[in-house]
Structure formats: C-alpha cells, structure tokens
Structure 1
Amino acid sequence: MLAIEVANLRTRAGSTVTSFTVERGEIFGISGPSGAGKSATVECLAGLRRPGHGTVRVLGLDARHDGAELRRRVGIQLQHAELPGKLRVWEALDLYSSFYRQPADWRELLDAFGLSAWHDTPFAALTTVAKRWLAVALALAGDPEIAIFDELTAGLGPEDRHDTWSLVERVRNRGVTVVLVTRCSVEAEVVCDRVIAT
C-alpha cells in the first residue's frame, strides 16, 4: 500500500506541477533549489497547507479535507522552527507528547536520538546539531507513521551531516516512512531510496 499519492500538485499560482508516490517504509527524497516549492509541498503532505491544485492523499486521507487527522499521523520538522530559549530538552519532548492521544514515550526518544546528555539543557544553549536531533525527536513525539524532515542537515559540518544521515536511517528502522527535503544532491543519493527533483 502506498503511503503518499500526489497527482498534479501545484502549491501556488505559477508553481511547478508535481506528481509522485511514496511507498511505505522508504526514505523518499524531494530535492531542488531554494524557492522551488519543496517546503510548500511537504506542508501539504502534513496537512499544514491546502493544495492549490491537484490531489494529495496521505495514508489514504485527502490532504484537502483531512488535515486534522493528518497532523495526528504525520510528524514534521520544519525548516525554520524555533523553541523558547529557556525551554529544556525534556520539557519540549514532554510538551509535544501531550499534544497527542497516543504519543511515543518521550524518554525513549531522548535515549534513541542521542539527547540524554542534553536532557536538562535549555534550547538556547544547544549546539546546532543537538537542535536538529531534538527536531527529529519532536517530529516523532506523536508516534507518526510518516516523518518529514525539511532541510534537516542545512548548515551542518560534514561529520555532523553524516551522523544525522544515520539518524534518519534509524527513524526508518522504527517502521516510519521518511520524506527528506534537501538541496544537497549528495545527501539525496546517499540517504534516499528514491528522489524527485522540483
């Protein structure tokens, strides 16, 4: 069964028309330059934006009409997301978990994604890579079937980038379908099972 079916999607007037499918359990890449509509596309997949034209079905749901249910079943790390500077790592995970009827165990996410050493650290004091790994854990707080990562490794050095690629693989190994948005063609080739260019 397909996890995602997109046909003739246009996110705004004049934007490129996109069609693709995503299989359950794969890491699917959406690659392209800045401003190509990658973020708008995945916001449609997560129920955060209504498609301007075309059809988007995610987990059998219509993204145009079932946004609330999609937000319960799809986790997303947005490209430009910040938390209050004084919010501690464990508090953020506990807070995000409280938004869902059947959340993941945030303590297990803390351990699984290398955040134990930072559990009591305020968000403002985290390194860039720790902030990204926290974003991954927060995207999984609702125990989603699909996780979307938007430019997850932007601004990271080579070593941190490679460690984060391994982190994405661990997400897939948990049985989660992954959609990875990236401008980096090497990242798309290394991490993803399939890639479309926008």
Structure 2
Amino acid sequence: MYAPARDNEITGFVGYLDQQLDHLRAALYGLTEEQARLTPCRSVLSVGGVLKHIAHSLPAAAARLRGESVDRVFDEAGFAEYMGSFALTDDETAAGLIERFDADRAAFIAAARGCDPDGDSMELPAPWAGILDSRPIKNRYYLGHLLEEFARHAGHADIIREQIDGQSVPGLVLSLSGAPANDFFTPYRAESGTLLA
C-alpha cells in the first residue's frame, strides 16, 4: 500500500502506480496455471490476460517516460497485436508472464521516478476513444492516464479473482507482504506449486 505521506508530485505518482501494479500481480497469488486463464465473468478477461495486457504496455510506457519516441500503429497487424495482449496464448504461461512483468515493472518504475511531470510529451492516437492523431501533452497527463489505466485493470483483476475463489486482491497483497491477521484481515495461504507460492 502507498501509505499517506507528504511526498512530492513524482513520488506520489510513482507510489500509486507501483501500488496498482502490485495489486495486478497479487491477483495471481495462489492460482494454478489453469485458474489464471479462467474467464468467470461475462467478459473475455482472465487474471492472466489482464496482467499480460499491462505487461505488454510497460516497455513502451517506460520508453515514453524516458523521452524516447514511441509509435502506435493500428493497421491490421497492430490491431491484432493489441487485441492479443488480453489473453495468454497456448505457448505462454502465467509463471513466465510474472517473470516478464517483474522485469518490465522495475524498468517502468525507474523511468517514472526519473521523469519530469512538467516535461513535454506526445499522447498517441487512441482510436477506441475516437482520437486518431497524436497530441502534445505534459508527462503529468500521461502519468495520470497510466494511473487510471492500471487502477481500472487492477479492479478487473480483483473482480475476476473474487469470482474464482472468493479472495480479494487487497487481502492477497497483505498476505504476500506477510501482514499479520487482524479484525479486518485473515492471511491467505497459497498451496505449494501455485503461482507466487
């Protein structure tokens, strides 16, 4: 949890971004590979698919925060790649995804920590929102956008996980951190051989 503090702007953004990434990762704690692919709600999303989608975005997000040029092309191949980022393929594993996510998360957090919120950047086209051109922005806008995106998908992962076995992601985060039981929380104990156990 990003605890209340009198931090500066970038430290606050980084704290909240990392908290949401932590929640996304924790949603897999104690699941089997098969459970990571389950789609128990009316959508096509699985916990593994949600984490894959965010993991897919982290390298480009880090590059943008470092001031590097990044393109987003939505031709047929680009659209297929984007849509494919929401589900694990037959040759991917959730365990392998976690390893990739952890490495990309560290690079992303370092880039976010080193960026100037008032620095200039370009927001890429977002055809799903009717925005077909790049637009000038401040990094502050992009950091806020990423926070909104990560939080929305962390919520998706939380709902999906609760549908699988009733576990809530905040409780899983506390369990992974080794927090002791209290009136509000009973630690979850993952079975040996499951993800993150």
Normalised by the length of structure 2, the TM-score is: 0.26
Larger Rg computed on CA atoms: 2
Higher strand share: 1
Higher helix share: 2
Normalised by the length of structure 1, the TM-score is: 0.26
